[in-house]
Chains A and B, each alone.
Chain A
């Protein structure tokens, strides 16, 4: 155990846990912290994971982030262009970890449009991207770098990009149990959908954070168990692997002011 770790590194280790029991699936972490989390999982407790170079090749060992120098040879194991990604997505052998702009109490997420009307949104973002297909085809997790009621909103998402545990939107012939949203890792805590009727449940608190803080910064009601464990802190081995996978320290720029991991 090390006391010298950043919040970003704590989040990477907590997020890596999402992939621990996945077996042989494609781990797709979009963004620096999710990608490092998937890489850490693949290099430690789930070496069966598959990963791409974020471009067109499947790798047998994850690439470090950013410029790798002219001499670097990546460990390709197959071609994996974007069209083939969908063959994988629709086979369900994938776990994506993404950072939507809004998440509601059903685990529905929004990556597309905020406010205004759909015809003329106040803020247009990316679009639905691959979220609809990801959410109905395979397991998914979320990473939220700034836990707040602006992300975890009181009502339903302005635009629902991904299916969640919402009985009102359940397609004919499907069960809510067909939806498989795993972990939500934030700068405050780890949550899952293990509450009653898939309610969001507090799973662990980052060092120095209270359940009250999480409740206050979440726009919907969450289940808070009588005892909530602390998030497992990084080991020296994990920190060394993270440093090796992120040689340009991109992780230092992912959470505002790059705080220390223990805020007590």
Chain B
């Protein structure tokens, strides 16, 4: 089966009002080329589930987001995501604010076909008071109450990986796959952009196959976009683009705002975008961060 698609074809399969999961973590390995394709589209009223970075900030700034399920939105070295903050402070988006681990449980519940997973996380905090839909349950085995973290069922997930084959075998050879396996499993459709499209024989070596975290049946489409995580990182191939993130963040303070950023960089295609940010080679030589 050949699951190769273009970014435009992926976005063509998304619909207004869908719940979309976005893989990666903060400024790391985000499917930014697919996010940019959404920015170029008419899609709207999306519910996003994300360990958020500029993916969330950009989609909020562009008015694509109706509701955000989040624990944080951050660029790490720039702790506060400027465009997300503005959207929140304008009251422009509904939110379901949860703990990082609760999000993992919600994705697991969806992946495993469970209505919820009980947890003590969130008890005693405003997570339970600010989310009226979040129910507490009694345990049949003890006298305590527990948060019933509901399944976060996703209509679609967008994920970026370093290597994939056309059948949807996806490899994350960087040090952390984050929760991307659960995003893939929690979604009805999972679309994966990859830096390098490889022949299936690439995975024959056990050390390569070991870095595949979900089965290809959980992958709906594969889009070959070298540099597609930019300006986020795709370890071990390239780091995140610090000057670009700074310029993106500063745009929130400009009169033109995100619109000015988008006009400068977004273009009509990923080729336009990459030309505007200095070319693919510049992306691929961005140094990896050290913490």
Contacts and interface: CB of A to CB of B under 8 A. Distances in A.
Q: Looking at chain A's contact residues, is the secondary structure mostly helix, strand, loop, or mixed?
A: loop
B211 to A, nearest CB: 11
A112 B100 CA distance: 13
Contacts of B126: 112, 128, 159-161
B291 A131 contact: no
A132 B99 contact: yes
B104 A86 contact: yes
A133 B101 contact: yes
B175 A57 contact: yes
A162 B100 CA distance: 13
Given A113-B88, A120-B89, A128-B71, A137 B25 contact: no
A153 interface: no
A163 B80 contact: no
A163 B99 contact: no
A135 B125 contact: yes
B203 interface: no
The contact size tier of chain A is 35 or more
A137 B120 contact: yes
Interface stretch (B14-22, B32-40, B141-149): B141-149
Nearest to A86: B101
A225 interface: no
Contacts of A196: none
A132 B125 CA distance: 7
Interface string B97-112: 1111110100000000
A104 to B, nearest CB: 12
B89 A173 contact: no
Interface string A100-115: 0000000010001100
A161 B89 CA distance: 18
Given A68-B290, A128-B71, A120 B90 contact: yes
A166 B124 contact: yes
Interface string B151-178: 0000000000000000000000001111
B279 to A, nearest CB: 25
A100 B25 CA distance: 21
Contacts of B99: 128-133
Given A57-B175, A136-B120, A130 B100 contact: yes
Contacts of B71: 127-130
B258 to A, nearest CB: 16
B123 interface: yes
Contacts of A68: 290
Interface stretch (A48-56, A181-189, A203-211, A213-221): A48-56
5 contacts: A81-B177, A86-B104, A90-B101, A128-B99, A133-B100
Interface of B: 25, 70-74, 79-80, 84-85, 88-91, 97-102, 104, 120-127, 129-130, 142-145, 175-179, 181-182, 290-291
Give the 5 A-B residue pairs with the shortest CB-CB distance, closest first.
A120-B91, A163-B124, A173-B144, A56-B175, A124-B88
